[in-house]
Amino acid sequence: MTNIREVRKESEFLLDVRELKTYFHTFKGVVKAVDGVSFSLKRGDILGVVGESGCGKSVTGFSVLRLIDSPGRIEGGEIIFEGDSLLKKSEREMEKIRGNKISMIFQDPMTSLNPVYTIKKQICETLELHGGLRGKEAHNRAVELLRLVGIPSPESRVNYYPHQFSGGMRQRVIIAISLATSPSLIIADEPTTALDVTVQAQLMKRLYQLVKSNNSSMILITHDLSLVSGVSDNIIVMYCGRVIEKGSSESVISMPAHPYTVGLLESIPKMTGERKMLHQISGMVPNPFEMPPGCSFYPRCELGQKICEAEYPRLREIEEGHYVSCHFAGRRNF
Ligand SMILES: Nc1ncnc2c1ncn2[C@@H]1O[C@H](COP(=O)(O)OP(=O)(O)OP(=O)(O)O)[C@@H](O)[C@H]1O
Ligand SMILES: [Mg+2]
């Protein structure tokens, strides 16, 4: 007889985040950086997490890895990974999961690489720690990984130090390290933001191919909706610590429903049609210590009415799998 635990393990979801709440208790008050966020991710899928600066994207990523330090705390919710609750794991168990089953790519490659060690030493360390590879075997795998991420002459470059690489090449090295243990989940936080636009596109394409060919899953965090639209299977749009719209990429991009998502899409330059001024979402994100009681987008919203000021709009399904948190959302063609 199969028990509940086994049924859960067989679930189609690799990751299931439910009503996650991560708050920071600062001397000025409580910042609800992530306030009731839910999403799930199937094996092999890519989930794009988008939204303006400060909306809680990184804190969501760090929470999944349980890398939240004081004054931050995960206050509630569930994080189910491969059928097990990560919030119930001990710190030792989490250490095994980090960098092995779940790896993370950060925005700034210089903070993730140690300047005093060669790339070889840094990749081999990961391979030894999490994959049990040593000596020649580890060396060969390090060279192979550098080749996979598109670093020319990897046999010699594996002996370089981080400063001998350009920014784009360093970020490729980070991606190589994150793939070293063939993780089932990669959390990539603005992986290409620090790079120029052409390098961004190349690297995104390579990352996409590697994730898909490994049958890994990825949470791709970015403020750039145009970047995720081409590579993600699903998208969640965050605003002030909450998910305000989610659905398949196709549905969210071609028929956005929340006025905020519409605004984000209108601020992306288009390659076709006549030249026109880019749209800007007017107003500012509310102060995290003075959140309005109703919809947090209300002060900036063109559709706003009395009810929006008083009542937070619950996420509702407007089409199968496409949810929006807005009292008056209507789908618009893009
Ligand atoms: N250590 C901390 N102490 C207090 N507040 C914090 C801390 N870390 C994050 N926050 C707050 O949590 C909120 C969400 O931050 P987060 O870094 O997740 O934003 P983000 O969406 O990743 O933004 P960006 O696009 O700029 O990276 C912000 O209001 C931020 O100020
Ligand atoms: Mg961030």
Flag whether pLDDT at 264 surpasses 80: yes
Q: Is 328 exposed, middle or buried (0-12, 13-18, 19+ CB in 10 A)?
A: middle
Ligand 1 within 6 A of 44 CB? Answer: no
> Per the domain annotation, does 160 fall within a domain?
yes
Q: Is 329 exposed, middle or buried (0-12, 13-18, 19+ CB in 10 A)?
A: buried
Q: How far is the CA of 53 from the centre of ligand 2 (A)?
A: 7
Residue after which a domain boundary falls, among 162, 180, 198: 180
Instruction: Pick the range with the lowest mean pLDDT from 99-103, 166-170, 278-282.
Output: 278-282
The more confidently predicted of residues 110 and 40 is 40
Ligand 1 within 6 A of 61 CB? Answer: no
Phi, psi angles (nearest 5°) of residue 234? -130, 160
> Per the domain annotation, does 201 fall within a domain?
yes
The more confidently predicted of residues 67 and 280 is 67
- Residue 220 confidence (pLDDT): 97
> Per the domain annotation, does 23 fall within a domain?
yes
Number of separate domains in the chain: 2
Confidence of residue 276 (pLDDT cuts 50, 70, 90): low
In this structure, are 156 and 167 located in the same domain? yes
- Tell me the mean pLDDT in the region 8-13: 64
Q: How far is the CA of 273 from the centre of ligand 1 (A)?
A: 37
CA-nearest residue for atom 28, ligand 1, is: 54
Residue after which a domain boundary falls, among 180, 201, 222: 180
Mutation choice for ligand 1 from 22, 26, 28, 58, CB with most ligand atoms inside 8 A: 58
- Residue 272 confidence (pLDDT): 59
Report the alpha-carbon distance of residue 67 to residue 91 in Å, rounded: 10
In this structure, are 79 and 112 located in the same domain? no
In this structure, are 118 and 195 located in the same domain? no
Q: What is the pLDDT of residues 141-187, one digit of tens each?
A: 999 999 999 999 999 999 999 999 998 899 899 999 998 888 999 99
The more confidently predicted of residues 238 and 215 is 238
The more confidently predicted of residues 10 and 81 is 81
In this structure, are 146 and 44 located in the same domain? no
Q: What is the pLDDT of residues 48-80, one digit of tens each?
A: 999 999 999 999 999 999 999 999 999 999 999
In this structure, are 11 and 146 located in the same domain? no
Report the alpha-carbon distance of residue 324 to residue 133 in Å, rounded: 47
- Residue range(s) defining the domain that contains residue 35: 4-101+181-324
Mutation choice for ligand 1 from 59, 224, 296, CB with most ligand atoms inside 8 A: 59
Is 175 in contact with 204 (CB distance < 8 Å)? no
Residue after which a domain boundary falls, among 180, 198, 232: 180
Q: How far is the CA of 109 from the centre of ligand 1 (A)?
A: 19
- Residue 181 confidence (pLDDT): 87
In this structure, are 221 and 316 located in the same domain? yes
The CATH number of the domain holding residue 41 is 3.40.50.300
Ligand 1 within 6 A of 70 CB? Answer: no
- The ligand that comes nearest to the alpha carbon of residue 241 is 1
- Residue 107 confidence (pLDDT): 73
Q: What is the pLDDT of residues 203-225, one digit of tens each?
A: 899 899 999 998 899 999 998 88
Confidence of residue 1 (pLDDT cuts 50, 70, 90): very low
Q: How far is the CA of 130 from the centre of ligand 2 (A)?
A: 27
- Residue 193 confidence (pLDDT): 82
Confidence of residue 34 (pLDDT cuts 50, 70, 90): very high
> Per the domain annotation, does 113 fall within a domain?
yes
- Continuous segment of H or E residues that includes residue 264: helix 259-266
In this structure, are 229 and 132 located in the same domain? no
- Average pLDDT score over the chain: 89
In this structure, are 146 and 277 located in the same domain? no
> Per the domain annotation, does 279 fall within a domain?
yes
The more confidently predicted of residues 65 and 9 is 65
Residues in the chain: 334
In this structure, are 133 and 276 located in the same domain? no
Flag whether pLDDT at 11 surpasses 80: no
In this structure, are 210 and 242 located in the same domain? yes
Amino acid in position 240: C
In this structure, are 140 and 187 located in the same domain? no
Q: How far is the CA of 165 from the centre of ligand 1 (A)?
A: 30
Ligand 1 within 6 A of 24 CB? Answer: yes
Confidence of residue 87 (pLDDT cuts 50, 70, 90): very high
Q: How far is the CA of 223 from the centre of ligand 2 (A)?
A: 8
Q: Write down the pTM of the prediction.
A: 0.91
Flag whether pLDDT at 2 surpasses 50: no
